[in-house]
């Protein structure tokens, strides 16, 4: 089952941006949005409102990356840029006899790595912190 839709915040005053145009693309993103909307430690948040430019290692062309969230917590001077991804996409692919699968996973990992390197640099320039959240973080699984 595919999860995609519009998120309607119960606390639109916490959303920095247009609260009528919040899109989630997975159940993990929906869960994260719900947490950001309701959790009392969140001062403000937004979704895909920041543009990070990066050079793709695949086609050597410049591209735009829209990180999932920007979050400011109460009692914390840091701003967090957060990306939600399946854990398997955050690690180099494992060797496989299925060459197509291996190639697809390698390309995905290379593209993600380029995006995240650019995001880390973007955050460093601003004094922000970049985080990648996986199913382990979102569902509280032990790592």
Which residues are catalytic, by number? 29, 68, 85
Burial state string for 115-125 with b = 16 or more CB within 10 A and e = fewer than 16: bbebbeebbee
- Least Cα distance to 123 among 74, 65, 75 occurs for 65
d(CA 112, CA 106): 10
CB 47 within 8 Å of CB 68: yes
- Least Cα distance to 23 among 51, 4, 44, 45 occurs for 4
């Amino acid at each position: 089952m595919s999860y995609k839709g519009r998120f309607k915040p119960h606390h639109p005053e916490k959303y920095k941006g247009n609260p009528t145009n919040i899109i989630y693309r997975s159940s993990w993103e929906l869960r994260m949005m719900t947490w950001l909307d309701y959790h009392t430690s969140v001062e403000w948040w937004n979704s895909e409102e920041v543009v990070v430019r990066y050079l793709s290692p695949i086609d050597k062309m410049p591209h735009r990356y829209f990180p999932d969230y920007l979050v400011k917590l109460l009692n914390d001077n840091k701003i967090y840029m957060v990306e939600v991804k399946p854990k398997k996409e955050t690690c180099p692919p494992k060797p496989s006899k299925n060459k197509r699968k291996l190639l697809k996973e390698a390309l995905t990992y290379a593209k993600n790595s380029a995006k995240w390197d650019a995001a880390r640099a973007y955050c460093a320039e601003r004094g922000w912190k970049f985080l990648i959240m996986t199913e382990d973080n979102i569902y509280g699984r032990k790592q």
